[in-house]
Chain A
């Protein structure tokens, strides 16, 4: 079979909804796009541990402390699971982590914003995990088997994360005046960055068409963003939270909410590394990696010694 026939067969499989598995033939571009997307997704889980981890030691009740700790632990598990899924495409976790630490790979820009109050962590659960669920529900139908299976599993835990975040947001929104102010302030700061999570408009999204053709994505950035708005505006209303968008209005004709324009200068600025926390996030990850080097070396050396002594014994 020549290259063109393989391409055609591959596209036919995708079009008839057959998932692509690691040993199947796939175009190099499909492989590299998936490595980019999946490793980026894994990095987001791992870097995302930092803004939330920032509040574990200060959680205002033992119950909340345990929920947050277990949520951040889940994110680490998702990272691990996604790194393994990425490895099925012929790369290694070490390689993609090196790319992250060298600044060659990206992670979700949302984690380049600071968590300034306890309410921020709860709003992340509600809005950021809420946005992630919308994206991941789509990716659970992705054409690449290991990615779609990872998403199915991860989505279940994300739903719990969102639920706990929304629950605390509701408690605070009905709490003391200080709590109400704190949670509204957090929503004011996180709403627009969360809207940016879905990426540029479809016209400015160079990868979208290709990813849709290959069945990696089934919806465009703007379609996903619209689902997010429709769902979360209603949830905000239900607990008396205001969405910081004066142009937000329900459109009877379309059956969807119309909303204002994202500040794309801010979006690209954060993507390029100038967000409020880009440098600190990378510094923290690099430091953890460097401080852990002696541990990883020791584990390797110990395993080598153990293997050697077993060989001698047999």
Chain B
């Protein structure tokens, strides 16, 4: 078997970039939706469903645009329901099981803080449809950040038990945070085109925001320089994604000719 390097076109890179963004949001939305009916209080059933709905909605717009950019007459659902796990390019962080409420909150906070900076950049992208979408989604991301930040504070600085659970949650997920800033040839090409964002530019801002909130929540900030897991962007996932996709896709794939809209 030979590996050949292929030069990406702008169109291919843009498709890939949109799908990566969409995959993160769809898979995270899926995990959040698992809380529906099982939350710690009714208000959080509503809030988590709301954040789930926003994320899946953002993903839907991104897939739709990706299909348009691709120009092969695919529907967004074709991309969602008929790709296997190696073709999914989401971050490993978002596919991890929902865990306890503390883990769900810790992940949401880290991801929303990242999205908050990313989308400020994307809202200025050199493509009106894309930047408009990012600007619209950014409003909702700000709410997700505020909601998860408030819970990090409450749980981190609540009881001894909640403090320990939050510490464990952040310690456990930390190795997956490096991948937020993963960049490869797709990003490089799009940064040059004014469509993608160089995430290293806001890495310090993200660290500072996270550090401030964790310190206020009395949570010890784990080591930013520890070993960081990668692979999601190349389709190398944890064992959890396969199960998630099996559940998500089985009905649609069982009746591929049926119309469900």
B173 within 8 A of A: no
- Per-residue CB proximity of B226-261 to A under 8 Å, as 1/0? 000000000000000000000110111001011111
| Cβ A288 vs Cβ B162 within 8 A | no
| Cβ B258 vs Cβ A66 within 8 A | no
Considering the complex, give the chain B residue whose CB is closest to the CB of A300. B158
Alpha-carbon gap, A85 to B194, bound state (A): 53
Interface stretch, picked from A31-39, A172-180, A217-225, A232-240, is A172-180
| Cβ A72 vs Cβ B251 within 8 A | no
CB-contacts of A264-314 with B (<8 A):
284, 287-288, 291-299, 301-303, 305
Q: Across the interface, which residues of A come within 8 angstroms of B49, CB to CB?
A: 69-70, 72-73, 76
Give the one of B44, B46, B49 with max A CB within 10 A.
B49
| Cβ A72 vs Cβ B157 within 8 A | no
CB-contacts of B124-166 with A (<8 A):
153-155, 157-159, 161-162, 165
Nearest Cβ on chain A to B261's Cβ, whole angstroms: 6
Alpha-carbon gap, A302 to B38, bound state (A): 23
Alpha-carbon gap, A301 to B77, bound state (A): 45
Nearest Cβ on chain B to A59's Cβ, whole angstroms: 8
A243 within 8 A of B: no
| Cβ B53 vs Cβ A66 within 8 A | yes
| Cβ B40 vs Cβ A80 within 8 A | no
| Cβ B161 vs Cβ A294 within 8 A | yes
Q: Across the interface, which residues of A come within 8 angstroms of B161, CB to CB?
A: 294, 297-298
| Cβ B248 vs Cβ A292 within 8 A | no
Alpha-carbon gap, A175 to B60, bound state (A): 24
CB-contacts of B27-85 with A (<8 A):
30, 33-34, 36-46, 49-50, 52-53, 56-57, 59-60, 63, 76-77, 80-81
Q: Across the interface, which residues of B come within 8 angstroms of A302, CB to CB?
A: 153-155, 157-158
Chain A interface residues (CB < 8 Å from chain B): 46, 49-50, 53, 56-66, 69-70, 72-73, 76-77, 79-80, 83, 118, 168, 171, 175-176, 178-179, 284, 287-288, 291-299, 301-303, 305
Q: A60-B81, A296-B41 are in contact. List 15 more A-B contacts (CB 8 A).
A: A53-B37, A60-B255, A66-B57, A66-B60, A70-B49, A72-B36, A73-B45, A73-B49, A76-B36, A80-B46, A284-B38, A288-B37, A294-B165, A295-B101, A298-B159
